[in-house]
Amino acid sequence: MKQLKEINRAQKNNMYSLVLMSFMLGIVIVAQAYFIVEIVDRVFLQDTSFSAVIPYLGGLLLVLAARSLVTYVNGRTGVKMAAKVKGDFRKKLLSKYKRNPVQASLKGQSGEKVSIMMDAVDEIDSYFSKYYPQMIQTTIVPILILIAVFSQNWVSGLIMLITAPFIPIFMIIIGKSTQKKSEEQLEKLAAFSGRFLDILQGLTTLKLFGRAKEQRDAIKQSSLDYRDATMTVLKIAFVSSLMLEFISMLSIGLIALEVGLRLVIYEQLSFFTAFFVLILAPEFYNSLKELGSAFHAGRGSMGAAKKVIEELEMTEQPVQWGERRLEINSPPTIKLENVSFSYSEGKFALNNINLEIPPHSEVALVGRSGSGKSTLLNVISGIVSPTEGRISVQNQSLFDYKEKDWFDHISYISQNPYLFSGTIEENIAIGGRGITTIEEIQQAAKKAGINEMIKSLEEGFDTMVGEGGRGLSGGEKQRVALARAFLKKPTIILFDEPTVGLDLQTERILQQSIKELGKSATIITVAHRLHTIKNADKILFLEDGKLLAAGTHKELLASVREYEQMVTVQQGGETG
């Protein structure tokens, strides 16, 4: 994986430290073997007194301490590297998600994205904390051991040299399939997360439709799929370590046989050499074997890294903003020229819209549901960019301006404003610029007609709302959004069905609020209410994503039949 290697190169200091520590480790391992053999040899064969071996025992003690220390420092470096990389990957993912246009943010399941951000990134850990340090260790330690063995007994050294390559070859074969399998495993986990989150959100609905049990089965299946995928990956790991074990066992056996024969039958070796080789041989293969299991973990990480990198490289056309300042104190002129928009290929939600919105005007978007009113509002707000055509503000393309400047000028009260997990106060304060006082917030709440309701709550403005907090009704949420707008004092207000779901008295309060907000702003409203429509300077009548007619209420009433029909029903109250 190219990217991971590059990351390694960027962390040079850590790499040097790993190399240095590995050298130390190699030396320590050889020294340990030397001391042990020396002691055994002396008391066993040379019959020296115990006091004569005490210095060697002292040396051995130092070596053992050094070995623990080196292992510790080595591991520590790996952990440090992994921590940095994980943090960096999350940051990168986030800045990519941040740039995504709104329509892209709706694609896929949030749970899956969270899973990539959490689980896949965590999975990268072992590449840096295990595989990489082990790889450096294994390139250095066995060589040092080999040198030591060659210096004592070249035949054993030769056996090691010949058998050793089998281990990495085997590893590579197995590692290849591991990576693919572990990608599958992560996909399964992401699918599980996505599914769980979606089901969680819709649990009430599912229960009411008597479908909870089925979903339980779906969760069960997802979970079992993940288990099976995990077991597949693990099975490869276990088989691979079994194989590595066999190879190293056979080799050690071969060496034992070789030294044994030469010691006993040919008497070519001393006990010292034989024992020395026999202690070093397992260390040699262990080091290679450990690389084997680390390699496996590393491959798994690479699978995860691939997923993360794929996600990073998935190109979405982000809304590109410019650098021009939007310095205005009163509403700007907004113009749409030949604007079309489609959510997916070929299906137009808006088709060739042309219109001009002069400052301080009150525009009402009218049409049946699904006619493209909300989409038009989204396009004007700049959170999605039109597929074709141009939006201009003050005769400059909207997207030449700085994003922040533009958003500072608009308030968008959507059908279903999102409440962030936090207090009501915090949720209103999000509309303000900089620091807002509680008085300002209360004032805004009053104007939005929600102050009374908030006060009736036990904890008032400190009541927790949003996820994990008190639920607010649709009308209440919209009034919170209105309060945000009052705090913001925008020059452009975008309302999406602002009076939906509210009772009559609140609706009246809101009419006044909107009127007041409108004193200093252009208002563009997706309207169902006749009185909103009647008060509008300009009504845009949409059908199937096309602008069918534009004009005042009277003009449309006289010229557009569908429009007239709509108004008649409203007045006659012929529903039900």
Partner 1 sequence: MKDLKIVVNLMFREKKDVFYSILFGFLAGIGAVSLFANSGYLISKAAIMPPLYVLTISIALLKLFSVTRAVSRYGERYFSHRATFTKLSNLRQYFFEKLEPLAPQIFQKYRSGDLLSRIVGDVESLQNFFLRVYYPPIVMVIVFLATIAFTAFFSIAVAIALVLGLIITGFLVPLWFSLKRKEIDNQLRESRGTVSTEAIEFFYGFRDLKLYYRLDEQANNLVNASATYVNEQRKVAGNELYNQSVNQLISLIVSWIVLGMGAYFVAEGQLDGVFLAMLVMVSLTVFENSTPMAAFPGYYHDSRRAANRLFSVVEKEEENSWEEKLEIEEVNINRPPTIELQNVNFSFPYEDRLALKDINLHLQSGSKTAIVGPSGSGKSTLLMLLLKVFSRNEGEVKLWNKSIGKLMDEDIWNGTNIALQSNHFFYGTIRDNLRIAKDGLSDDEMKAVLNKVKLQQFSLSDPVLEKGENLSGGEKQRLAIARAMLKGSHLWLLDEPTSSVDILTESHIYKELMKQGENDTMIFVSHRLTGLEKMDQIIVMENGTIIETGSYDELMNKKGYFYKMKEIEKDVFL
Q: Should residue 254 be labelled a site residue for partner 1 when binding is judged by CB under 8 A?
A: no
User: Looking at 138-146, 331-339, 356-364, 507-515, which segment touches partner 1 (CB under 8 A)?
Assistant: 507-515
User: Looking at 46-54, 142-150, 154-162, 387-395, which segment touches partner 1 (CB under 8 A)?
Assistant: 46-54
Interacting positions 394-433 with partner 1 (CB under 8 A) = 403-404, 407-408, 410, 412, 414-418, 420-421, 430-431
User: Looking at 10-18, 138-146, 298-306, 501-509, which segment touches partner 1 (CB under 8 A)?
Assistant: 501-509
Beta carbons within 10 angstroms of residue 309's beta carbon: 19
Nearest-angstrom CA–CA distance, 358 and 347: 30
Q: Should residue 324 be labelled a site residue for partner 1 when binding is judged by CB under 8 A?
A: no
**DSSP per-residue string spanning 122-169:** HHHHHIIIIIHHHHHHHHHHHHHHHHHHHHH-HHHHHHHHHHTTHHHH
In the complex, least distance from residue 549 CB atom to partner 1, rounded to whole angstroms: 16
Nearest-angstrom CA–CA distance, 537 and 553: 8
Q: Which of 27, 161, 197, 355 binds partner 1 (CB under 8 A)?
A: 197
Contacts of 535 (CB under 8 A, 6+ apart): 362
Q: Tokens for 549?
A: 């007619």
Quick one: 337 or 405, whose CB is closer to partner 1? 405
Quick one: 245 or 310, whose CB is closer to partner 1? 245
State the binding string over 434-453 for partner 1 (x if CB under 8 A, else -).
Answer: -------------------x
Q: Should residue 340 be labelled a site residue for partner 1 when binding is judged by CB under 8 A?
A: no
Q: Which of 31, 278, 309, 357 binds partner 1 (CB under 8 A)?
A: 278
Interacting positions 536-565 with partner 1 (CB under 8 A) = 565
User: Looking at 9-17, 39-47, 133-141, 159-167, which segment touches partner 1 (CB under 8 A)?
Assistant: 39-47
Q: Which of 20, 27, 143, 234 binds partner 1 (CB under 8 A)?
A: 234
Q: Which of 471, 512, 516, 559 binds partner 1 (CB under 8 A)?
A: 471
Contacts of 252 (CB under 8 A, 6+ apart): 281, 282, 285
Quick one: 75 or 358, whose CB is closer to partner 1? 75
Q: Should residue 317 be labelled a site residue for partner 1 when binding is judged by CB under 8 A?
A: no
Quick one: 267 or 439, whose CB is closer to partner 1? 267
Quick one: 361 or 463, whose CB is closer to partner 1? 463
Per-residue burial over 145-181, b = 16 or more CB atoms within 10 Å of its CB, e = otherwise: bbebbeebbebbbebbeebbebbbebbeebbeebbeb
Q: Which helix (H) or strand (E) holds 28?
A: helix 12-44
Question: Contact at 8 Å (CB) between 49 and 98?
Answer: no
Q: Which of 145, 252, 304, 376 binds partner 1 (CB under 8 A)?
A: 252
State the binding string over 203-232 for partner 1 (x if CB under 8 A, else -).
Answer: xxxxxxxxxx---x--xx--xx-xx--xx-
User: Looking at 176-184, 304-312, 322-330, 470-478, which segment touches partner 1 (CB under 8 A)?
Assistant: 470-478
Interacting positions 85-104 with partner 1 (CB under 8 A) = 86-87, 90-91, 94-95, 97-98, 100, 102
Interacting positions 357-396 with partner 1 (CB under 8 A) = 367-370, 373-374, 381, 383
Interacting positions 480-499 with partner 1 (CB under 8 A) = 484, 496-497
Q: Should residue 202 be labelled a site residue for partner 1 when binding is judged by CB under 8 A?
A: yes
Q: Should residue 50 be labelled a site residue for partner 1 when binding is judged by CB under 8 A?
A: yes
Q: Which of 169, 173, 200, 328 binds partner 1 (CB under 8 A)?
A: 200
Q: Which of 7, 28, 31, 36 binds partner 1 (CB under 8 A)?
A: 36
Quick one: 64 or 358, whose CB is closer to partner 1? 64
- Based on the number of CB atoms within 10 Å of its own CB, is 471 exposed (0-12), middle (13-18) or buried (19 or more)? exposed
Q: Which of 241, 333, 352, 392 binds partner 1 (CB under 8 A)?
A: 241
372: left (phi over 0), alpha (psi -120 to 50) or beta: left
Q: How many residues bind partner 1 (CB under 8 A)?
A: 170
**Residue 115, helix vs strand vs coil:** helix
Cα separations in angstroms, 170 against 292, 296, 327: 9, 11, 67
State how beta strands 388-393 and 334-344 pair.
antiparallel
In the complex, least distance from residue 68 CB atom to partner 1, rounded to whole angstroms: 4
Q: Should residue 325 be labelled a site residue for partner 1 when binding is judged by CB under 8 A?
A: no
Interacting positions 257-276 with partner 1 (CB under 8 A) = 257, 259-260, 263-264, 271, 274-275
Nearest-angstrom CA–CA distance, 422 and 294: 44
In the complex, least distance from residue 130 CB atom to partner 1, rounded to whole angstroms: 10
Quick one: 439 or 573, whose CB is closer to partner 1? 573
Quick one: 358 or 518, whose CB is closer to partner 1? 518
**Residue 70, helix vs strand vs coil:** helix
Q: Should residue 311 be labelled a site residue for partner 1 when binding is judged by CB under 8 A?
A: no
Q: Which of 15, 19, 23, 109 binds partner 1 (CB under 8 A)?
A: 109
For residue 500, the 8-state DSSP code is T
Q: Is the dihedral of CA 175, 181, 187, 191 positive or negative?
A: negative
Q: Tokens for 457?
A: 């709550």
Nearest-angstrom CA–CA distance, 280 and 386: 70
- Cα-based angle 244, 246, 252 (whole degrees, multiple of 5): 100
Interacting positions 135-164 with partner 1 (CB under 8 A) = none
Looking at residue 137, its amino acid is Q
Q: Residue 365 pairs with which residues in a beta bridge?
A: 526, 540
Q: Which of 5, 25, 142 minimizes the C-alpha distance to 81?
A: 5
Beta carbons within 10 angstroms of residue 54's beta carbon: 11
Nearest-angstrom CA–CA distance, 177 and 171: 10
Quick one: 170 or 337, whose CB is closer to partner 1? 170
Q: Should residue 341 be labelled a site residue for partner 1 when binding is judged by CB under 8 A?
A: no
